[in-house]
Amino acid sequence: MSMVATLRRMARLMVGLPDYDDYVRHMTAHHPERPVMDRKAFFRDRQEARYGGKNGGRCC
């Protein structure tokens, strides 16, 4: 990975958004029969997962 790509990924993961391409790769490799979320659905799903409460603890 180039440095810019690493920093981009780092910034996105800092706010709880994993890489979309990784997700698609995982789904096509392991679960070709299941539906794959598009970018928008993926973004909303991850937003809910990060902020929905269970993982909501921020540090002091």
Considering the rule CB under 8 A, would residue 56 count as an interface residue with another protein? Answer: yes
Phi first, then psi, for residue 50 (nearest 5°) are -75, -45
16 within 8 A of 49, measured Cβ to Cβ: yes
Question: What mask, x for binding another protein by CB under 8 A, covers residues 13 to 52?
Answer: xxxxxxx--xxxxxx--x--------xx-xxxxxxxxxxx
20 within 8 A of 46, measured Cβ to Cβ: no
Instruction: Find the shortest distance in angstroms from Cβ 14 to another protein.
Output: 4
By CB under 8 A, name the binding residues for another protein: 1, 6, 8-19, 22-27, 30, 39-40, 42-60
